[in-house]
Amino acid sequence: MNRGDHRISQCGNRRCPRCGNIAELSGDAIKKRGQFTFAVSGGTTPWLMLNHLAKLDIAWDKIHIFQVDERVAPSGDRSRNWTHLSETLLSQVKLPEAQTHGIPVNMTDLEAAAAHYSATLCSVAGTPAVLDLVHLGLGADGHTASLVSQRQSAFRSRCRCGRHRILSKSTARDADLPSD
């Protein structure tokens, strides 16, 4: 599997070929660079996949987990993507806490939270940040990464590690965000 591959599949069991692809991709990245950077979307799409990945022989101690999106809600709230990520994967694997990178939506200053997350992303994944794998689910209404078709108010912060913008609280379409 090469960088830039795009795959669509349902993951129904631990022998799912996509889970095997993720395990293989992680092994290749770890051999080449000593780590694997993996961003996971929220919603229900990744739950089965993450449960199955946790059962595979993967060098979890060399993996960094990031979030694609998150809801602004208290820690442990059932609407938080981090709550489900913790239950379906993080509680099942030996992954150092320093390698789990949740979006800090509990900070009172969300702009500072976005800047902090951007800095964390760059410190692990380089400048500009390059992730080995980004999992994006697709909701029944066609949304992905909390981005929906109708533009609503968006919170934006300039990513300090590249030319992109990070959405830390949004329902805006990514295409509506200017890059400079």
Confidence band for 171, pLDDT divided at 50, 70 and 90: very low
Angle, helices 47-54 vs 17-33, to 10°: value is 60
Domain residues of the chain, as ranges?
17-140
- pLDDT tens string 44-63: 777 778 888 888 889 999 99
- pLDDT tens string 85-137: 999 889 999 999 999 999 999 999 998 999 999 999 999 999 988 899 988 77
Within 10 A of 17 (CB to CB), how many other CB atoms are there? 10
Confidence band for 25, pLDDT divided at 50, 70 and 90: very high
DSSP secondary structure letter of residue 145:
T
Residue 19: alpha-carbon gap to chain centroid: 16
* Of the ranges 48-52, 139-143, 174-178, the best mean pLDDT one: 48-52
| Tokens (6 digits) for 79 | 């609407």
67 contacts: CB under 8 Å, gap ≥ 6: 39, 40, 42, 81, 82, 85, 101, 102, 103
Residue 105 and residue 117: Cα distance in Å, rounded? Answer: 10
**Which single residue is written with the structure tokens 């996971």?**
40
pTM over 0.85: no
Q: Which fold has domain 17-140?
A: Rossmann fold (3.40.50)
The CA-based diameter of the chain, rounded to the nearest angstrom, is 43
Phi first, then psi, for residue 169 (nearest 5°) are: -150, 110
